[in-house]
Amino acid sequence: MKAIIGLGMVLGLLMILPAIQYALAAGDEPGEYLDRRVEIWGLFYRLMIVAFTVGTVVSGMIVWLVLRFRESNPKAKPTEYEEAGTW
């Protein structure tokens, strides 16, 4: 549970910190302009990388679980509930 909370906090920081940086990125000097279109696409790109990475990890874990706990796996042993026949 602590790992999930920690991972959630890290992912939250990955989304919040760049947004704060871009919001405060305008320069103090006149003539220093921030191209918001470029910054928004950069932020979108970073968040899409995070989303694809998380999706890949989740998909990989699902595939591993399906292969690990399939019925034809020779190492798979029935649980005590399956052996007793009581569900």
Looking at residue 54, its pLDDT comes to 93
pTM of the model: 0.51
What pLDDT shows up at residue 72?
79
Per-residue pLDDT at 25: 66
Burial of 39 (0-12, 13-18, 19+ CB in 10 A): middle
Q: What is the mean pLDDT of each run of 10 residues along the chain (87 residues)?
A: 83 80 66 77 89 94 87 76 68
User: Hey, where are the domains in the chain?
Assistant: 2-26+33-73
Q: What is the pLDDT of residue 63?
A: 94
